Amino acid sequence: MPQIKKILILGGGFGGINVLKLIQKKFKNESNVRISLVSKDNYFLYTPMLPQVSSGLIHPSDITIPIRKLCKQAEFYQATISLIDLKQKLVTITRTFDGKVHTLDYDYLIISPGSSTNFFDYKNIKKHAFVINTV
């Protein structure tokens, strides 16, 4: 019996979701691959359209997609990442809704945690800027 290959994706933003789609397409009819995705949010947010939401032109539901809808072959964990052990190939997560801690093992790990705004050491801009990156 063939061994199941475990692919773990950390992050549900542009990088993580695009990798998820590619992997699901590549292994569409294969039963020896287990795909898991961990994200702190249970939705994918199309951030380039956040200004339109803040101005009232569109509704937030127009730029959010439940991650579970995108996980056609993948298992989804809404959780934060506590620890990544590269030597033992383990990732410890804490589920968002109940605080339970789980350890996930993997054969292949994709780390796509997202981005943060770079203010290039301009402290006043950082102090007074209104960053739009969530609904």
Token output for 53: 């939401």
Confidence class for position 1, pLDDT limits 50, 70, 90: low
- Nearest one of 45, 37, 38, 42 to 13, comparing CA atoms: 45
Rounded-to-integer distance, Cα 95 and Cα 113, Å = 16
pLDDT at 130 over 90: no
- Nearest one of 87, 99, 89 to 10, comparing CA atoms: 89
Rounded-to-integer distance, Cα 77 and Cα 83, Å = 15
Residues 10-43: pLDDT tens digits?
Answer: 999 999 999 999 999 999 988 899 999 999 999 9
Question: Would you identify the CATH topology of the domain 5-128?
Answer: FAD/NAD(P)-binding domain (3.50.50)
Using a pLDDT cut of 70, give the percent of the chain over it.
99
Q: What is the pTM of this model?
A: 0.90
